[in-house]
Amino acid sequence: MSTKSKEWIDERAPKHLSTTVLSGALYIHTGKDVKEKIKRTDQVLKKIGAELTAYALALLALPQMMDTMRDSNEYKEFADRIYPHTIH
- First-to-last alpha carbon distance for the chain, in angstroms, is 50
CB atoms within 10 A of CB 86: 5
Rounded distance, CA 56 to CA 7, Å?
19
Question: Distance between CA 48 and CA 20 in Å, rounded?
Answer: 8
pTM reported for the whole predicted model: 0.80
Per-domain residue ranges for the chain? 3-62
Cβ-in-10-Å burial (0-12, 13-18, 19+) of 25 comes to: buried
- List pLDDT tens digits, range 52-85: 999 999 999 999 999 999 999 999 888 888 877 6
pLDDT in tens, 15-55: 999 999 999 999 999 999 999 999 999 999 999 999 999 99
